[in-house]
Amino acid sequence: MSSPTFSREASEIRISVQRLARRLRNERADDTMSDSQLGVLAWLSHTGTFTLGELAAKERVSAPSMNRTVNCLEEAGFVRRTADDEDRRKVNITLTDAGHEIVAETARRRDEWFDAALDELTAEERATLREAAAIMRKVSDR
Amino acid sequence: MSSPTFSREASEIRISVQRLARRLRNERADDTMSDSQLGVLAWLSHTGTFTLGELAAKERVSAPSMNRTVNCLEEAGFVRRTADDEDRRKVNITLTDAGHEIVAETARRRDEWFDAALDELTAEERATLREAAAIMRKVSDR
DNA sequence: TATTGTTATACTCTATAACTATA
DNA sequence: TATAGTTATAGAGTATAACAATA
């Protein structure tokens, strides 16, 4: 059970996280790729292959929603679908060469604004953000 | 100019922030109010009165987009529009009594999941998140 | 029958362009 | 002319319900 004070703490941290996330979305240098599309490319870039259902679970969206995102990426030539040999209901999704290229390029351009913002902080403040980032990952994966 | 290492740091922090923000959005207990609507209520709750244009600037959305959000809030009875006496082109937006009530109630319900997540952290980890929240605010306001 | 992916449909949030009223 | 707000319209992302193919 949480005290009122504790709940206010959660509220303040949540608002800060959500505001910065929105700011980062607005300030991104790259305009050609949505967050959901880039999120899928990032998972594939990291792990190699996922089925559509796995991607939907990872990104916590519905299967139809993920299907639409994958359609866009496939039309753009960044991913390909291949039928699974063992279970023919499944569809494996992998990055194309163009997909690999866009991941690196987009990540670089997208961080331009945030990079400049971090530049204005002290080394100690950046260290705090790094530590917090690790904790936030833990919380997200909970 | 930032080094490649520095840029990777920005990328990791950005991804952590955006992932947690999405997780918080998905895990919210309250389903009746969108983030954009609650964002507006939070500004009004904090400061009292804003014009439509000011709200659009604060939330970094277009005027038509904010107009729509305010329409929803007005229909729901949470805000009211009043013409500005000095400049009759302007519209002042303020919280109604129902608006004040919903702000406190929604914030409490919305933080249930995050509250429980924070409960599993150490006091030191929570302190790091609090410090990071202040830094994130500074960065967002940049 | 249950599961995986897809299609059909609708709702929300966002934007740009065009319009109205006021300065 | 310029500015504040609004309306019209369109695009992207999301969801649920219904369907097809496969297990």
Please state whether strand D lies within 7 Å of residue B52 at its CB atom. Answer: yes
The DSSP result for A48-95, as a single string, is SEEEHHHHHHHHT--HHHHHHHHHHHHHTTSEEEEE-SS-TT-EEEEE
User: What is the pLDDT, as a whole number, of residue A1?
Assistant: 43
User: What is the pLDDT, as a whole number, of residue A6?
Assistant: 60
The DSSP result for B80-139, as a single string, is EEEE-SS-TT-EEEEE-HHHHHHHHHHHHHHTHHHHHHHHTS-HHHHHHHHHHHHHHHHH
Within 8 A of A12 by CB-CB distance, chain B residues are 130, 133
Q: How confident is the model at residue A2 (pLDDT cuts 50, 70, 90)?
A: very low
Alpha-carbon distance B50 to nearest alpha carbon in chain A (angstroms):
19
Within 8 A of A134 by CB-CB distance, chain B residues are 16
Do the Cβ atoms of B132 and A128 come within 8 Å? yes
Do the Cβ atoms of A14 and B111 come within 8 Å? yes
Percent of chain A at pLDDT above 70? 95
User: What is the pLDDT, as a whole number, of residue B5?
Assistant: 56
Q: How far is the CA of A64 from the C1' of C7 (A)?
A: 9
Weakest mean pLDDT among A3-17, A107-121, B99-113: A3-17
Block means of pLDDT (10 residues each) for chain B, 142 residues, are 61 90 82 87 91 95 96 94 94 95 83 92 97 95 84
Within 8 A of B10 by CB-CB distance, chain A residues are 111, 114-115, 118
Do the Cβ atoms of B121 and A135 come within 8 Å? yes
State pTM to two decimals: 0.86
Read off φ and ψ for residue A66, nearest 5 degrees: -65, -35
User: What is the pLDDT, as a whole number, of residue A52?
Assistant: 96
User: What is the pLDDT, as a whole number, of residue A4?
Assistant: 47
User: What is the pLDDT, as a whole number, of residue B26?
Assistant: 82
